[in-house]
Structure 1
């Protein structure tokens, strides 16, 4: 059982908000004018605990800030536009969510996507190192398997790297797993708990059906089919949009879920578990996606992997070389990037 193997559920606990200590909290969204950033900005206006929402992009954020700022919820919203306003947007942030970058289009490889988005990520992380070096950093920009190690190297170069405060958001893989399994079992997806480990590309995503709660009611063929769909769900959305976009709305929803958990942990709530791609020693790779207990400093601990079944162990063995190669590519990109 998941509770026995991981000790804690991979869902935010329902601990009463009023019993937690509250501190002022500023969230900066970089890429707030984009396909993920706009719906995320809207969703974040409903999140308790955000006192200031700072929105930045190369264009359009003044309007997004004005629009979302009219919503009758607590907190202020400010918009920043252009490279010159990046650091002011980040100044004093407690959490920076990086959604900036180009979406994946049909036929584009992860290497091509990295060439498009790697430089953007480095520019943003360098600005953060100056404006808010102690902030939590949550990255949605793809390819996450490569971007997050790149960000770590940039932070190391600036002398402000804290492995407990850097996250690659893989919550969407969990969200999709819950939805697909819930539909298959004809139950509310919110009642499904399943860890998704590895990374955030098709070949490195591994949902652990053996740890599913409630117990998965299906045969081996069902597991293989659903695993494949979870791995390729991003492509499913890209094709459904006719190549004109990627998974933006569901990613915004998943990112908002992760942000809620981070803020609850920041305010002292215990036992919050989310899957994320972080610096880790639980597997044979320096970064790994898996269940993480969140705390006031970010990552409180990475939960150890449970005993896997034969299929899961073989899948893990197959994905680790790919993941290590992705991580090495991220480190190399950071070290060779021209300033």
Structure 2
């Protein structure tokens, strides 16, 4: 079902006058809390010539109309329902899959996981039929399971381009950066903390030994800060009384999108992502990834990790291996 046809045609005509804008971005799950916030920010990005909002919810009509009242030259288009998903994907240079999130009241973690698996399966099957695969960023939990699952579907249907499939882990880096800065009473903009591993409490590894500016943490203080960074999402959910950290999540997806859009424009960008990588025998791994217009190039490596980080890395590798197997087994049981 095509949404707001006349409005879309009018907005599309306008975008021909803005040659600076050159990329089409599709937000799958655009009517969700995270999706709406993300679309609002993408609406004003100078490299986005067209923003596509896709969701199964009838409220997509209202979201699209709401976005149309933000006066920018970007074209808007909306789609509702499973039967229009292929159109939302084939028009895109970048697809951002925003998953459902448990809010502790209306959706359990189990139901959320099931919905996200169904969404990623549908996207992967549709992508496998396209002649050219767009860049794809998945921001849905359990990310360590869903990215390998999507990759496996694409492989089975001869539509696989591993360099273009990303699990978005930017939120982990932003949280580490913010908490590290707060601990030291420094400006967050002046801090950087690499994060590697997977995207879960048991697999995320903040590399405080590689942080800049460097702070010599040890003992109890080091363990407490690492634990706090890994528990960030739970902490926010507790304070928000069961609701998820939608604002920081939407911002983190925007940061990822900016990096990919920069790469599509001909540059080389770096994004935090969980991608196909067998450096640790897991098949997939997360870190800072260099990207060009063809997809992922290479992941940044680190040496001289602390004893704690080496221990966490071993545990993370075990957790990621189990999650990757879960992703593949879902297809075997289907």
Query: TM-score, normalised on structure 2?
Result: 0.88
Distance 1:215 1:112 in 2: 42
Larger mean Cα displacement after TM superposition, 300-309 or 249-258:
300-309
Partner of residue 293, structure 1: 290
In the TM superposition, residue 62 of structure 1 has moved relative to its aligned partner by 1.8
The structure-2 alpha-carbon separation of the partners of 1:267 and 1:68, relative to structure 1 and needing over 3 Å to count, comes to same
2:311: which partner in 1?
Answer: 314
Residue 302 of structure 2 corresponds to 305
Q: Answer whether contact 1:138 1:169 (CA < 8 A) is retained.
A: yes
Deviation of 1:23 (Å) = 7.2
SS in 2 for 1:312: helix
RMSD: 2.1
Measure how far apart 1:109 and its partner are: 8.9
Indicate the residue corresponding to 2:121 in structure 1.
122
Q: Which moved more, 1:252-261 or 1:284-293?
A: 284-293
C-alpha distance 140-248 of structure 1, shift in aligned 2 (>3 A): same
Aligned to 1:234: 233
What is the distance in 2 between the residues matched to 1:221 and 1:300?
38
TM-score, length basis structure 1: 0.87
List gaps (5 residues or longer) in structure 2.
1-18
Q: Please state whether the residue corresponding to 1:53 is helix, strand or coil.
A: strand
CA distance in 2, matches of 1:311, 1:102: 31
Distance 1:185 1:227 in 2: 14
Which residues in structure 2 correspond to 1:54-203 (within 5 Å)? 54-59=52-57, 60-103=59-102, 105=104, 113-131=112-130, 133-203=132-202
Q: Judging changes above 3 Å, is the alpha-carbon distance between structure 1 residues 322 and 65 closer, same or farther for their aligned structure 2 residues? A: same
Bigger relative CO (Cα 8 Å, ≥ 6 apart): 1
User: Runs of 4 or more off by more than 4 Å in structure 1?
Assistant: 108-113
Provide the C-alpha distance between the structure 2 equivalents of 1:249 and 1:150, rounded to a whole number of angstroms: 27
Measure the CA separation in 2 of the matches of 1:305 and 1:114.
32
8 Å CA contact 1:25, 1:94 repeated in 2: yes
Instruction: Specify the alignment match of 1:12 in structure 2.
Output: none
Residue pair 1:206, 1:315 contacting (<8 A) in 2 also: yes
From 43, 46, 49, give the equivalent of 2:44: 46
Q: Which residue of 2 aligns with 1:10?
A: none
- Going from structure 1 to structure 2, the CA distance change for 1:22 and 1:154 (only over 3 Å counts) comes to farther
Q: How many corresponding residue pairs?
A: 314
- Give the C-alpha shift of residue 281 in structure 1: 2.5
5+ residue gaps, structure 1, are 1-20
Give how far 1:254 is off.
Answer: 0.3
